[in-house]
Amino acid sequence: MSDSFKNELSIPESVKTRINQIFVRKFELKMEDLSSEKHLFTDLGLDSLDAIDLVIAFQNEFKIKPTNNELQAIRTLDDVYKLVAKYAVVLKKDHELQAST
């Protein structure tokens, strides 16, 4: 995902809230401890097994399958927001294309 594309994404608060709820539910974090600049591993205390759980949660909640390269690029909660928003844009375009045919 290019930096210019990342910067163009508008991330709805509802998506951020759903993502934050995953972190609260799966990793027993407090909602008030979650902010976009938080580093997943150093600030939030996630480890490699948590990262796998996070991918599964994304697949279940948002029906997305990020690539390995995309997953390896995630460092902060903001990276997570942007990744999910990117897929939301792609899925919306796919849905619009299917509806128009």
Note the pTM of the prediction, 2 decimals. Answer: 0.78
| The predicted structure's pLDDT at residue 26 | 95
21-44 pLDDT, tens digit each: 999 999 999 999 999 999 999 999
* CATH superfamily of this structure's domain 3-100: ACP-like (1.10.1200.10)
CB neighbour list of residue 54: distance below 8 Å, 6 or more residues apart: 22, 26, 46, 80
Is residue 19 within 8 A of residue 81, CB to CB? The reply is yes
d(CA 34, CA 29) in angstroms, rounded, equals 8
